[in-house]
């Protein structure tokens, strides 16, 4: 092998060595990028889950508050309706009581008149 041939051979080997070194470096970079991607993905996934959990908690709290408000409105409506019904019923009973009292007074007056007439007749 002469010097020129050795030089060409060395250049070819050296080029391959650089190619091999370049391939190894590219692979290492790709593996590092994949690891960063996995860690980045894990971080992004965890961050997404945290934000989603916070959003769901907020939505649940808001739904509970809205439901509590609706229940309070229903309770107030029921209370007002019941109070109105009781007042109406009380007024009706008071009117019936007044009517019965008036009838009783009328009956007592009629009985007095009958009694007085019967005393004068005898």
Question: Which tens digit of pLDDT belongs to each residue from 96-114?
Answer: 999 999 999 999 998 888 8
Residue 14 DSSP SS3: helix
Domain boundaries, position 48 = 1-122
45 against 119, higher pLDDT: 45
Q: Based on the structure, what is the number of domains in the chain?
A: 1
- pLDDT for the residue numbered 7: 47
Mean pLDDT (whole number) for 50-75? 96
**Which residues touch 35 (CB under 8 Å, ≥6 apart)?**
none
Mean pLDDT (whole number) for 27-45? 68
Backbone angles phi, psi at 2, to 5 degrees: -90, 170
Half-sphere exposure of 45 (CA within 13 A, CB side): 6
Mean pLDDT (whole number) for 76-81? 97
Per-residue pLDDT at 61 exceeds 90: yes
Q: Residues for the chain: how many in total?
A: 122
Percent of the chain with pLDDT over 70: 67
């Amino acid at each position: 092998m002469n010097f020129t041939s050795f030089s060409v051979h060395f250049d070819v080997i050296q080029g391959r060595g650089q190619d091999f070194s370049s391939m190894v470096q590219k692979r290492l970079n790709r593996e590092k990028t994949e690891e960063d991607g996995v860690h980045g993905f894990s971080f992004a996934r965890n961050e997404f889950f945290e934000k989603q959990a916070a959003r769901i908690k907020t939505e649940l709290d808001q739904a509970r508050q809205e439901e509590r408000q609706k229940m309070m409105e229903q309770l107030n409506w029921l209370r007002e309706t019941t109070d109105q019904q009781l007042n109406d019923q009380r007024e009706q009973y008071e009117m019936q009581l007044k009517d019965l009292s008036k009838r009783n007074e009328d009956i007592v007056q009629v009985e007095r008149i009958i009694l007085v007439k019967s005393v004068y007749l005898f």
